[in-house]
Amino acid sequence: DEFISSPPRKTVRFGGTLTEILLKYEKGDTTDFELLKHQLSDPDIKDAQIINWLHEFRASVAYLTKELEQLVNILLKLPWLRRSREVVEEYLGFLGNLVSAQTVHLRPCLRMIVSQFVPPRITIREDDVDISDSDDDDENISENFDTCHRALQTVARYVPSTPQFLMPILVEFFPFINKSERTLECYVHNLLRVTVYLPTLRLQILELIIEKLLKLDVSTPQQDIEDAEETANNCASEEKSTEEGLFDMEEDEDRKGNKVVSPSIERMAHPLAERLDILMTILFSYIKDVCHVDGKLDISNTKDLYRDLVSVFDKLILPTHASCHVQYFMFYICSFKLGLAEAFLDHLWKKLQDPNNPSVIRQTAGSYIGSFLARAKFIPIVTVKACLDLLVNWLHKYIDNQDTGANAYCDVALHGPFYSTCQAVFYTLIFRHKQLLDGNLRKGLSYLQSLNFERIVMCQLNPLKICIPSVVNLFAAITRKYQLVFCYTIIERNNRQFIPVVRSGTGGDLVQTCTNPLDSFFPFDPYILKRSKKTIDPMYQFWEELSAEDLENLKKPIKKGTSEDEDDDFLKGETPQNDGVVEIAPNSYESNTRSPVSSIGSPADCYVPYPL
């Protein structure tokens, strides 16, 4: 108040007062008006001059009508953010006065503020050639962002309709995905900050961010990321071997000192994967911060955010095929409380069983249920059993309705949701069978027998022919061991009926065998982005690789009449977790010829020989 009431410092200026200049302009005398525009556009304008002009403009906002839009635009381009505190405060006061008196300038004001949500660019020129164009590493950038949010809150306080005008501008200014990591990181971070003081925009902002993340995700297939990492590791190894033996003395000195971890270890080799990793880390941090107050879970906040995220999931994630990482925001928020995980499963279950939903959405919902039950450590076995009961009962009812009708034959187009549900059940059993049988073997076996897998496997719809072979092989081995169902006769019959597809092209005939007729994928396959995976890994169930002994055990049926107290090595023995041994995983990147790195942490496409 003292600052505002004090007279402005004297500065050199030309022309009369601002009011006189604007009145002259209305009468057609533009000389002083042009001089005013020139002074305001001067790149060397001093703080005192800015304060002096802003003080006058605050008192004359009534004159700044639509006709003076050009002058207002010059004022909005003033370099106010990187000035003294006095300039910043005066400018915020001017913005408040302007939008409250002349709402016609609301959009330009919002555009000016949002344009500051990314770091400025520093361009270095030599002989009219740009030799450098990079983000400004200004150490005050965080403070500048704080000021931008103060400005936005000021405008929103004076104009209640600000959110509806702001959202299209936030969409328009979202940087392209090929912009620098720093630019994308700052913009997304600032968008999420807006949701804190403009909560009505939260759902739309989350939709916007997740839509952009999804584009990044589907633009970087998992195989491309793995190939880039492998190439980078090979190059690093070659450089290391080339330099080996050089500067031994310095290396010895380094060994004596503290071990320094290279920051490049944290970076993803694939540039788009690096951007996605940074943005996923920000999104996970945001979810955690919103849901926790003073380190404790706030149930109300968490439920509200969960509803918004489920809405985004339904609109964007569920209809998108084979995204690898973005869907993990649902995995993460569900880990906070079992009730959320159960609500998510119930939501997916309703999608799956609703015949009014498109078949592809029902199939994808089935994939999410199976992958979520298999991979989420935080889901207890009692919930897994409840879900298996629902899914298996639905399968039996489906068979009741279809097995004797005109459509009782194997056809993905007709029975896609059925096959997707079968695969979800098989996949869940592969991951969870030890826990289902743990403690009381007889009781566990009795439960699995009650699911009547034999009827599902033997039905006319023939799910073993449609499901991914790696899942079928492991399911067949496990169910044979516990004498739940014998699948190998059906598998062999399916293999005999299976005719490879021959396609002719310019390069000659190509023989293809379709191992994934469902075109299904497991949404929660191993997460491979280096930074953000640290958030997911503690709650993620990796596949415990089958040892040679376990594979041998899978070939031997369990003896009938086994005592429930008798130890069973396969059930109770801990198999070592995968330590980099690479095998083929039952995921959507199915291959029987080589072993993708993505399969680390996934069940192997093991071939268990048919018993003679």
The 3-state secondary structure of 468-533 reads CHHHHHHHHHHHHHCCCCCCHHHHHHHHHHCCCEEEEECCEEEEECCCCCCCCCCCCCCCCCCCCH
Section 3-15 average pLDDT: 52
CA 135 – CA 144 distance, rounded (Å): 15
Averaged over 381-408, what is the pLDDT?
Answer: 88
pLDDT of residue 271: 92
Q: Report the percentage of the chain scoring pLDDT > 70.
A: 75
What CA dihedral angle connects 515, 516, 521 and 522, to 10 degrees? -50
Between 5 and 305, the higher pLDDT residue: 305
Answer whether residue 203 shows pLDDT above 60: yes
Classify burial at 271, counting beta carbons within 10 Å of its beta carbon; exposed 0-12, middle 13-18, buried 19 or more.
middle
Give residues with Cβ within 8 angstroms of 8, minimum separation 6. 48, 51, 52, 55
Question: Which of the listed ranges 152-161, 457-466, 566-575 does the model predict with the highest average pLDDT?
Answer: 152-161
Helix (H), strand (E), coil (C) string for 387-402: HHHHHHHHHHHHHHHH
Q: Higher pLDDT residue, 235 or 426? A: 426
* Phi, psi (rounded to 5 degrees) for 157: -70, -35
Which of the four pLDDT bands, split at 50, 70 and 90, describes residue 599?
A: very low
Q: Pick 431 or 121 by higher pLDDT.
A: 431
pLDDT (mean) for 62-72: 90
Handedness of CA 388, 422, 542, 524 (dihedral sign): negative
Highest mean pLDDT among 305-314, 430-439, 452-461: 305-314
Lowest mean pLDDT among 83-97, 320-334, 550-564, 582-596: 582-596
Residue 585's pLDDT is what?
42
Most confidently modeled range among 27-31, 185-189, 438-442, 572-576: 185-189
Region 153-173 average pLDDT: 95
Give the per-residue pLDDT at 318.
94
User: What pLDDT score does 499 carry?
Assistant: 55
Report DSSP letters for 547-608, one per residue.
PHHHHHHHHSPPPTT--TTS--HHHHSPPPPPSS-----SSTT--SSS--GGGTTS------
What's the pLDDT tens digit per position in 403-428?
Answer: 666 667 777 878 889 999 999 999 99
By mean pLDDT, which of 163-177, 259-273, 443-457 is the weakest?
A: 259-273
- Distance, CA of 371 to CA of 342 (rounded, Å): 14
* Residue 277 CB-half CA count within 13 A: 19
At 132 the pLDDT is 52
Question: What are the tokens at 566?
Answer: 């008798």
Is residue 336 helix, strand or coil?
Answer: coil
Q: Which residues of 495-518 are buried (b: 16+ CB within 10 A; e: fewer)?
A: eeeeeeeeeeeeeeeeeeeeebbb
Instruction: Find out whether 597 and 230 touch, Cβ atoms under 8 Å.
Output: yes
When pLDDT is averaged across residues 293-309 and rounded to a whole number, the result is 96
The letter for the amino acid at 378 is F
CA 5 to chain centre: 51
Task: Supply the mean pLDDT for the chain.
Answer: 82
Give the pLDDT band (50/70/90) at residue 12.
very low
User: How does residue 140 score in pLDDT terms, banded at 50, 70 and 90?
Assistant: confident
pLDDT of 537:
95
Nearest to 279 by CA among 368, 180, 150: 180
Contacts for 550 with CB less than 8 Å, ≥ 6 apart = 570, 575
DSSP state of 220: S
Tens-place pLDDT, residues 326-377 = 999 999 999 999 999 999 999 999 999 999 999 999 999 999 999 999 999 9
Q: What DSSP string describes 272-325?
A: HHHHHHHHHHHHHHHHHHHHEETTEE-HHHHHHHHHHHHHHIIIIITTSTT--S
Q: Which two three-digit tokens encode residue 296?
A: 């404790």
Q: What is the pLDDT of residue 265?
A: 65
**Three-state DSSP string of 29-78:** CCHHHHHHHHHHHCCCCCHHHHHHHHHHHHHCHHHCCHHHHHHHHHHHCC
Beta bridge partner(s), residue 122: 134
- Can you tell me the mean pLDDT for 237-260? 52
pLDDT at 211 over 80: yes
Instruction: Using the predicted structure, report yes or no on whether residue 76 has a pLDDT greater than 70.
Output: yes
Reported residue count of the chain is 612
Residues 163 and 170: their CA atoms lie apart, in Å, by: 10
By CB atoms closer than 10 A (0-12, 13-18, 19+), residue 489 is exposed
Reply yes or no on whether the pLDDT at 315 is more than 60.
yes
DSSP conformational letter for 376:
B
Determine contact, residues 122/135, Cβ cutoff 8 Å: yes
Res 294: pLDDT? 93
Q: Which residues make beta-bridge pairs with 540?
A: 376
pLDDT at residue 439, rounded to an integer: 79
pLDDT digits (tens, 9 = 90+) for 498-523: 655 555 555 555 555 566 777 778 99
User: pLDDT-based confidence at 18, cuts 50/70/90?
Assistant: confident
Q: Which residue has the higher pLDDT, 132 or 172?
A: 172
Beta bridge partners, 510, equal 503
* Residue 598 pLDDT: 38
Can you give the pLDDT at residue 547? 59
**Region of poorest pLDDT, from 92-96, 256-260, 279-283, 543-547:** 256-260
Which residues are CB-neighbours of 471 under 8 A, at least 6 positions away?
Answer: 423, 426, 427, 430, 586
Highest-confidence segment of 302-311, 468-477, 519-528, 563-572: 302-311
Strand partners, 126: 129
Highest mean pLDDT among 57-66, 248-257, 596-605: 57-66
CA 317 to chain centre: 10
DSSP string spanning 93-156? HHHHHHHHH-GGGHHHHHHHHHGGGSPPEEEEEETTEEEEEEE---TTHHHHHHHHHHHHHHHH
Collapsed DSSP state (helix, strand, coil) of residue 21: helix
Residue with more model confidence, 21 or 545: 21
| 380: number of Cβ within 10 Å | 13
pLDDT at 377 (0 to 100)? 95
Closest C-alpha to 362, from 420, 323, 411: 420
Read off φ and ψ for residue 484, nearest 5 degrees.
Answer: -90, -40
What's residue 402's pLDDT?
A: 79
For the record, the structure tokens of 347 come out as 């939501």
- At residue 538, the 3 state secondary structure works out as helix
Helices (H), 202-270: 202-219, 222-243, 248-256
Inform me whether the pLDDT recorded for 381 exceeds 50: yes
pLDDT over threshold 80, residue 590: no
**pLDDT > 70? residue 488:** yes
Q: Contact, 122 vs 132, CB < 8 A?
A: yes
Query: Is pLDDT above 70 for 546?
Result: no
The answer to whether the pTM exceeds 0.75 is: yes
**pLDDT given at position 608:** 46
- Point out the least confidently predicted range of 219-223, 426-430, 589-593: 589-593
Range of weakest confidence among 75-84, 124-133, 302-311, 588-597:
588-597
